[in-house]
Amino acid sequence: MLLESKIQPDTAYQKQQETLIVWSENDNYDLALSFQEKAGCDEIWEIICQIQGKDPSVDITQDIVEESEEERFDDMPEIASPIELPACELSKLEEIAELFSSVLPSPFRREKLANAIENENYISKLLDLFHMCEDLENTDCLQYLYEIVKNTILLNRTSLLEQMFSEEHIDDVIGCLEFDPSSAAPQKHREYLNSQANFREVLPITNQDLLNKIHQTYKVQYIQDVILPTPSVFEENMLSTVSSFIFFNKVDIVNMIQEDEKFLPELFTQLKDESTKDIRRRELVLFIKEYCSFAQSCQNRENFFQTLSNLGILQALEVVFAMDDVNTRQAAIDIFACIVEFNPSMVREFIVQEGQSQEDDNFLINLIIEQMICDTDPDLGCAVQLMNILRILIDPENMLATVAKTEKTIFLGFFYRHCMHSLTAPLLANTTEDKPSKDDYQTAQLLSLIIELLTFCVEHHTYHVKNYIINKDILKRVLVLLKSSHQFLVLGALRFMRRIIGMRDDFYNRYIIKGNLFQPVVSALKSNATKYNLLNSALLEFFEFIRIEDIKLVVCHLGDTFDNEFDKVDYVNTFRGLKQKYEQHLDRLNSKSPAENSLRQGSILHQGRYRRDARAMDEDEESWFDQEDDGDDPDPVVRSVDTNFRNTRVDPELDAIGRFIGMEENDVLHKDNKASNGRADSLVKSPLSNSPTKNNQAVMSPVRNMNASSPPPRPDSPMRPGTPAVESLTLLSKSKLQETNTSANNSSTSQTKEGEPINPVETKTNSLPSKQGSIVGLVDYPDEDSEDEEEEEDENSPPSKKARLSL
């Protein structure tokens, strides 16, 4: 348009907003020329002003003459007055055509003209002239009639369309539309509709009104799609009434067929009958397809599809899917797609009921999967359509929940037991080696569709797909496709693993680390390192996500395994950031003492159970779980301690700690008893203190407040009174003190000076580090020799009062 537009000396050009030039041409088009920069706009504006002899400093080149208010009111009577139609004669056809064309831009005048045509029965008079002109072969008048009839349709009046599309007039209207002035020769539309477009009745239709409605709808649809020219932007709304006319006709047809008590039952009986020939079954399927397409226009489609379900539409489709005819199967797929899109729950219910009544796996959904896998189209158009149908069926977002069970639980359990192996069979068959067995385009397209469905499952399903991927080692097979020559398939495989990593699931992460499944991805990064393409960006985003999310298991594994490979990729900061994250984790691990790490790895409850903290596990615990957990079952809240782990890690360390504490207390008490003559008076420095009793026996009691300035024990301290750790230490200290005091009283060489205090047994709450908020149990496992010595001493020692334990 801009190339053909010439700068006219009398056209008013206007510059707006420094980058926009607007003007009008032929009183019909408003044009605007927009510039990205002000300099370009000024350059063109100077050229326009130079041609018109105007000063470029002005913003408009011509004075706009506005219509006065008087002139506007002068036009009002013309709009308000009714339109008088010329006499319907051959000599007046040119005048009539001009009148009909002139009123289209004005809605008021269109309405006036439509009223005049309807009141004077003008359409019948025009069609009578058509017969006369056709008999006389008057081409000019026939072309005028084409313009008149076309513009009458564009008036968008329902009552006029009903009159024109009636059984009496519709053929004549089509005849008028054959003489298009833009065509060199008349089009033979009536000949095509009456002879070539034959009406086929798959079953005899006894309702004459239904037959007439079908014929009328077909012809009106033909007028809209074939005869009338493609509407312009301004004419689209003028054909809305024609579309509404077709819509309501289709609704009437669907309702009439559905109200017939014999038609549909007879149709489905023949369709499911095994003796029906393939040609006959094809006609029946094509009729149902057309019937379903009409039903898409109905508002109450629920009753329609429920009627089809009651008549056995899904059982009939199973029979059709087994046919060899491609066109018949394609029609069946279209029917099935309409049903699934409207009511997927109905299809899922049928599939589950079918699975309960059959022993084999020849279910409807498996037939759909088979059709997708065996699609012979090189572009896999049918497979793509079936993949979308399967996605709707397995989408938990449109599954219903009942009081007893959820549809999601029932159907997904059925799908993964009976159908998933069929879906993944091509993938498993093509990835038995370290590279794809077949790498042609059609196979790559199919595998891409399968991986897309698996990716959808990872995102929307929970334990079903997780168990399947881990048990069948699906990810390892998918990563084989990274060596495909088709980049869209490589991207699909990488996207699948990216989605798994994005779930941030420890089971997935352990499975990936255990199988060393990052190796194919790193190999793809190395082989594609010199290329700047979509795959390179996808790989970088893959590792960037791991860095940003700081997935500890994955970061540590990548740092341990692929540090050298990542050092070579220096054109982005992603891998330097990964290395920094890895080094930070190592620094945190190395900053802990060996005893702290051991205790963090082996927290023991009273009954030999290992419980995971309700908050977050530290790095050592996570690394231990990585080694021990096979990833097959969900994490329990409380774990039983593995026997090997307890024997190899916890017992020796706790035995050593228990013996160390017992020996230290024993030595201190022996020393102090000698110095203080058995008195237990001391300055208490810990929550556990010695209280003097009769017979110089020490009684252990917790001191809650030592003085006004001493802070109370922290609530979250792992060694506060009342915890299993303190209780075990209390019992341990009590037994050692009793043993020591008894020995001291019976010995003649044990003497101490009066007034010398016994050194207290100090028990610091922070001496045994543990995770904040967790429960740490310390259990002393005495040696057999020490137990025997204690028994001998107890037999020889005099009886004493029981030690009092205050908790």
State the Cα–Cα distance between residues 245 and 473, nearest whole angstrom. Answer: 57
Paired with 22 in beta bridges are: 14, 32
> Poorest-confidence range of 138-147, 159-168, 686-695?
686-695
What domain range is 59 assigned to?
1-65
pLDDT value at 711 more than 70: no
Assess whether 221 and 77 both reside in one domain.
Answer: yes
State the Cα–Cα distance between residues 800 and 591, nearest whole angstrom. Answer: 48
Question: In whole numbers, what is the pLDDT of the chain averaged over residues?
Answer: 75
Q: Quick: pLDDT tens for 438-487.
A: 999 999 999 999 999 999 999 999 889 999 999 999 999 999 999 999 99
Assess whether 41 and 112 both reside in one domain.
Answer: no
In our burial notation (b when 16+ CB lie closer than 10 A, e otherwise), range 374-411 reads ebeeeebebbbbbbebbeebbeeeebeeeeeeebbebb
Assess whether 697 and 753 both reside in one domain.
Answer: yes
State the Cα–Cα distance between residues 154 and 174, nearest whole angstrom. Answer: 15
Considering the domain boundaries, does residue 554 fall inside one? Answer: no
| Residue 474 · residue 416 · CB < 8 Å | no
pLDDT band at 518 (very low <50, low <70, confident <90, very high): very high
* CA nearest to 501, candidates 431, 466, 435, 551: 551
Question: Which residue, 502, 517, 548, sits at the end of a domain?
Answer: 502
pLDDT band at 713 (very low <50, low <70, confident <90, very high): very low
Mean pLDDT across 266-287: 91
Mean pLDDT across 16-36: 76
Alpha-carbon torsion angle 51, 54, 56, 57, nearest 10: -170
Q: Quick: pLDDT tens for 525-537.
A: 999 887 889 999 9
Considering the domain boundaries, does residue 274 fall inside one? Answer: no
Mean pLDDT across 181-202: 88
pLDDT band at 378 (very low <50, low <70, confident <90, very high): confident
User: What is the pLDDT, as a whole number, of residue 532?
Assistant: 87
Q: Quick: pLDDT tens for 128-143.
A: 999 999 998 899 999 9
User: What is the pLDDT, as a whole number, of residue 32?
Assistant: 82
State the Cα–Cα distance between residues 637 and 614, nearest whole angstrom. Answer: 8
Considering the domain boundaries, does residue 458 fall inside one? Answer: yes
Considering the domain boundaries, does residue 761 fall inside one? Answer: yes
Mean pLDDT across 362-380: 90
Considering the domain boundaries, does residue 211 fall inside one? Answer: yes
CATH number of the domain bearing residue 42: 2.30.29.30
pLDDT value at 221 more than 60: yes
Tally of domains within the chain: 4
Mean pLDDT across 432-440: 91
Considering the domain boundaries, does residue 778 fall inside one? Answer: yes
Among 401-405, 520-524, 637-641, top mean pLDDT goes to 520-524
Question: Which residue, 456, 483, 502, sits at the end of a domain?
Answer: 502
Q: Quick: pLDDT tens for 726-745.
A: 444 344 444 444 444 444 44
User: What is the pLDDT, as a whole number, of residue 398?
Assistant: 85
Assess whether 93 and 44 both reside in one domain.
Answer: no
Mean pLDDT across 635-639: 38
Assess whether 111 and 246 both reside in one domain.
Answer: yes
pLDDT band at 261 (very low <50, low <70, confident <90, very high): confident
Q: In what side-by-side order are the strands of the sheet with 14-16?
A: 14-16, 20-25, 29-34
Single pTM value for the model? 0.62
Q: Quick: pLDDT tens for 336-345.
A: 999 999 999 9
**% residues pLDDT > 90 (the chain):** 41
Considering the domain boundaries, does residue 635 fall inside one? Answer: no
Assess whether 688 and 750 both reside in one domain.
Answer: yes
Helix axes 420-430, 364-373, angle to 10 degrees: 20
pLDDT value at 706 more than 60: no
Assess whether 376 and 483 both reside in one domain.
Answer: yes
User: What is the pLDDT, as a whole number, of residue 597?
Assistant: 52
pLDDT value at 308 more than 80: yes
Mean pLDDT across 715-733: 42
Q: Where are the alpha helices (DSSP H) in 381-533?
A: 381-393, 407-418, 420-430, 441-460, 463-472, 474-480, 487-502, 506-514, 519-527
Q: Where are the alpha helices (DSSP H) in 53-138?
A: 69-80, 93-102, 107-119, 122-136
122 or 357, higher pLDDT: 122
> Poorest-confidence range of 59-63, 446-450, 545-549, 763-767?
763-767
Considering the domain boundaries, does residue 621 fall inside one? Answer: no
Assess whether 218 and 355 both reside in one domain.
Answer: no
Residue 331 CB coordination number (10 Å) = 21
Assess whether 173 and 226 both reside in one domain.
Answer: yes
User: What is the pLDDT, as a whole number, of residue 594?
Assistant: 58
Question: Which residue, 452, 468, 502, sits at the end of a domain?
Answer: 502
> Poorest-confidence range of 14-18, 172-176, 291-295, 615-619?
615-619
Assess whether 57 and 99 both reside in one domain.
Answer: no
20 or 608, higher pLDDT: 20
State the Cα–Cα distance between residues 781 and 521, nearest whole angstrom. Answer: 50
User: What is the pLDDT, as a whole number, of residue 420?
Assistant: 94
User: What is the pLDDT, as a whole number, of residue 588?
Assistant: 86
Assess whether 30 and 87 both reside in one domain.
Answer: no
pLDDT value at 48 more than 60: yes
Assess whether 367 and 471 both reside in one domain.
Answer: yes
Q: Quick: pLDDT tens for 295-307.
A: 887 878 888 899 9
User: What is the pLDDT, as a whole number, of residue 336?
Assistant: 95
